[in-house]
Amino acid sequence: MERTLSIVKPDGVRKNILGEVIRRFQEAGIRVAAIKMIQLSKAEAEGFYAVHRERPFFGSLVDFMSSGPCVVMVLEGDGVIRRNRELMGATNPADAAPGTIRKDFAGNIEQNAVHGSDAPETAAFEISYFFNALEIH
Ligand code: CMP
């Protein structure tokens, strides 16, 4: 059974789509194993996205991710890393397939409603960034 980290980003929380995002996960047979609402500090957002620190959009991304509360979740299921990414759609909503979360709710390539881990190694890092073992059920 695989696990991945999902984030409903500050734009998604502001648009009040949390329930709809979780509904799509559950309808796909994906289980929520942990969940909490948090507001990241700039330093915490920088640490989470450290792999992108040389990118030109890094400062803006950190400002956005710390601009309001996010909902972070551990999702569990067979092939959940890939399946969550399919449900999210492409990073840029302009390229996202119809019926995906980003196509339906994202404003632009930065404020793109949701995040999902892209590989087992990143999932392990990202889950441990927000949750300890006792918080995952
Ligand atoms: P995410 O899947 O969380 O991974 C990195 C994030 O950086 C991405 O979603 C976007 O929020 C943001 N991002 C990626 N590419 C760009 C870009 N070209 N311009 C601005 N933000 C970007």
Ligand 1: residue whose CA is nearest its atom 6: 110
Q: Which residue has the tokens 């390539």?
A: 109
pLDDT at 82: 98
pLDDT at 46: 98
Q: How remote is the CA of residue 95 from the centroid of ligand 1, in Å?
A: 13
pLDDT at 78: 98
CA–CA separation, 80 and 15 (whole Å): 25
**Tokens (6 digits) for 129:** 């960034």
Q: What are the C-alpha distances in Å from 130 to residues 39, 57, 103, 105, 127?
A: 12, 23, 27, 24, 6
pLDDT at 130: 98
Q: How remote is the CA of residue 109 from the centroid of ligand 1, in Å?
A: 6
CA–CA separation, 16 and 4 (whole Å): 22
Q: How remote is the CA of residue 49 from the centroid of ligand 1, in Å?
A: 10
The DSSP call for residue 37 is E
pLDDT at 93: 98
Q: Letter for the amino acid at 137? A: H
- In this structure, the residues whose C-beta lies within 6 A of any atom of ligand 1 are 52, 57, 61, 91, 109-110, 112, 115
Residues of the chain with pLDDT under 50: none
Among residues 17, 105, 115, 123, the one annotated as catalytic is 115
pLDDT at 31: 98
Instruction: To the nearest 10°, report the CA torsion of 70, 46, 92, 35.
Output: -30
* Residue 101 parent element (H or E): helix 101-105
CA–CA separation, 41 and 8 (whole Å): 16
Q: pTM higher than 0.85 for the full model?
A: yes
